[in-house]
Amino acid sequence: MSLNPLNAISPVDGRYRSKTASLASFFSEEALIKYRVRIEVEYFIALCQIPLPQLQEFDSSKFETLRDIYKNFDAKDAEEIKEIEKTTNHDVKAVEYFIKSAFDKMGISQFKEFIHFGLTSQDINNTAVPLSIKEAMNEVYVPQYQEVLKKLQTMADEWADIPMLARTHGQPASPTRLGKEVEVFVQRLKEQFNLLNDIPSAAKFGGATGNYNAHQVAYPEIDWKEFGQNFVHDLGLYHSFPTTQIEHYDHMAALFDTLKRINTIILDLDRDFWTYVSMDYFKQRIKEGEVGSSAMPHKVNPIDFENSEGNLGIANALFEHLSAKLPVSRLQRDLTDSTVLRNVGVPFAHTILAFQSTLKGLNKLLLNKEKFEQDLENNWAVVAEAIQTILRREGYPNPYEALKGLTRTNDKINQQSIANFIDTLEVSDAIKNELKAITPSNYTGI
């Protein structure tokens, strides 16, 4: 059975394939194989540039032809490597044999034993995977994140002066402004995103147990630590040293933890806007032909925020497992990291789906300004804080208790009842006028 959106087990490769396809170039099996080929080829070129004595005669003009092996890599090449793997039962060894075959076709067979010289498979995997993550972050994640951030910043600016009744513990509280509440999310996201830039994309490169044993015994005169560091840096990665056979994954865990926090902020935003829609603060744009409910024709459900929340939950569960599991390995290595790393693209896919859904939900919002005004008008009790604070300033006796007596009743509190209360206060007319000028709509702070 050939894979298609209707028979795929995961919705990432099924229902949502069109929305996550951009990640296939970084996290699919074919992509992983291509990254491995890339590392092997670049490693051989780096050995030529030392140069090793046996590689001094290699024609450097052929370097770009070698790079074409991975630059022109396609599905047919990946299938060829998978066919080789059926015999080797080892994925990285199959890559090595594929490149050796390419060397044979290029007439440079005498150099092919240096393709994987001194390496273990994890030198390839623990360089290929961090590189794929870094490039996926730059080419897919960051543009999607920036779209969401740009939309939120636009909303914060557009609604900067819209007064809004705040709610703490679900109850009416000191008024705020809608734009400011959106700005809270903008700043939270920016601060966490800045932390991403401080996390190195770390790679391990150092032989079977991280000590360059094979390299050192063959060519003791070469500074292999410096070589490995330069090689990894030239790929745009940070060189972890010392290590065991595998990368210790601490930096990768930090990346996943930060991505998880960004997702948590988006999830928090999703729930707030879902609630604002339920409070009628926003209407939603209606798309011709869409059905909100199979039974209730009038409904326009905030499904985009709900979809986002669900995908963020799945993404964070997987990021949590990756960040907790990857840094733990028995002695110098076990295979559990390899198993879970094959799933690293899945939380990215659910994150991208969530970002797209959040953005779609935000773009549907239509401000219902009348509802904001109505809520403020119905909650004049919230100006009690302002009145009692000014009374404190004036040295008025027991101001909190006086306002408590006024507001903590079941009687209707409105502009008139507040004004009547102010008239009973033993303060100057100037202070009374100052107090009467305070309304729920203008008591919004800075």
Q: Which residues are catalytic?
A: 169, 293
**Contact at 8 Å (CB) between 204 and 246?**
yes
Ranges of beta strands (E only) in 191-235 are 202-204
Q: Whole-angstrom Cα distance, residue 354 to residue 304? A: 9
Residue 397, preceding peptide bond in cis (omega within 30° of 0): no
| Residue 376 CB neighbour total at 10 angstroms | 22
Q: What is the dihedral of CA 246, 36, 145, 302, to 10 degrees?
A: -90
Q: What is the CA radius of gyration of the chain?
A: 31
Six-digit token pair at 444?
């919004």
Six-digit token pair at 59?
């024609």
Q: Whole-angstrom Cα distance, residue 342 to residue 369? A: 49
Cα→Cα distances 31→58, 79, 101, 336, Å: 29, 12, 20, 21
Residue 242, preceding peptide bond in cis (omega within 30° of 0): yes
Q: What is the dihedral of CA 306, 312, 317, 323, to 10 degrees?
A: -170
Six-digit token pair at 228?
């490995």
Six-digit token pair at 302?
């905030």
CA atoms within 13 A on the CB side of 101: 11
Enclosing H/E stretch for 123: helix 121-136
Q: Whole-angstrom Cα distance, residue 230 to residue 238? A: 9
**Contact at 8 Å (CB) between 326 and 253?**
yes
Q: Whole-angstrom Cα distance, residue 389 to residue 394? A: 9
**Which residue do the tokens 């910043």 mark?**
153
Q: Whole-angstrom Cα distance, residue 341 to residue 29? A: 11
**Contact at 8 Å (CB) between 19 and 352?**
yes
Residues with Cβ < 8 Å from 420, sequence gap 6 or more? none
CA atoms within 13 A on the CB side of 55: 19
